[in-house]
Amino acid sequence: MRFRPCIDIHNGKVKQIVGGSLKDAGDQAQENYVSEQDAAFYASLYREAGLRGGHAILLNPKNSPYFEDTRKQALEALRTFPGGLQIGGGVCPDNAQQYLDAGASHVIVTSYVFRNGRLCWENLEKMESEVGKEHLVLDLSCRKKDGMYYIVTDRWQKFTDVEVTPERMRELGSHCDEFLIHAVDVEGRSSGIETELAEILAEYGEKPVTYAGGVGSMEDIRLLNVYGKGLLDVTVGSALDLFGGTIPFSELKKLDKIL
């Protein structure tokens, strides 16, 4: 298990939010932490710690009056840590190469590929053709409905009919380099991990998979390592001391040696 750091940007500020509270209307979200530092500050910290493979996420839609401020923050982070960060949030073939040129190692895609509640193979092929699967991360962030986990899009607000299963991940894995999965119902709540989801993800076991959501303590990370059979990487947001939480960044920098 590796620690994958994050930089979540909303309304031009680095924040930690409750994932399920995000609303496009009025650019609203329940905030756990709003940083006084900019995105480049965190990118510099991660670069100095040698923590590659983290992600910067733009949490405003393109039509938001805050979008350009949010995008500017993200670009500064990429330039600060070239090759060290992935970027997601409104990525499509029209802008993907710009982010790679700015320093992103990968682009992260959800809504462009999962359109109108369904998996759009044509759009996935367009993204793969534009950037190459070696630069593509598929975000399968999901919420539970009727006992199953379904991918959600548009900043986690809209359900698709695509269930997260090992079989589906194997099908998609030939078109991407990694997967990122937020357990949206517990995202930003530091209330414990979704162990059932971790077990599903561990059954896949082929390409790198990063789990995010609900981590509130080092014990949660150890639990994730157990249920994920040591195959999942982890992102920690609101519970990290950099974002007002209690888990020391100094501990997570050496996570692979602790577990």
pTM: 0.92
* Residue 29: per-residue pLDDT: 66
Interatomic CA distance for residues 22 and 31, integer angstroms: 9
pLDDT higher than 80, residue 86:
yes
Nearest one of 33, 12, 5 to 243, comparing CA atoms: 33
Q: What percent of the chain has pLDDT over 90?
A: 84
Give pLDDT, residue 25. 64
Cβ atoms of residues 64 and 97 within 8 Å: no
For 107-116, the pLDDT digits (tens) are: 999 999 999 9
From the list 65, 107, 66, the residue with the least C-alpha distance to 86 is 107
C-beta of residue 3 within 8 angstroms of C-beta of residue 51: yes
Length of the chain: 259
pLDDT for 231: 97
Confidence bin at 18 (pLDDT 50/70/90): low
Nearest one of 236, 209, 232 to 138, comparing CA atoms: 209
Read off the pLDDT of residues 20-75 as tens digits, 9 standing for 90 and up: 566 666 776 677 789 999 999 999 999 999 999 999 999 998 989 999 999 999 99
Question: 142-145 and 148-153: which strand pairing?
Answer: antiparallel
- What architecture is the 6-258 domain classified under in CATH? Alpha-Beta Barrel (3.20)
Q: Kind of pairing, strands 136-139 and 142-145?
A: unpaired
Q: How far is CA 177 from the centre of its chain?
A: 14
Mean pLDDT of 227-247: 95
Neighbours of 129 (CB within 10 A): 10
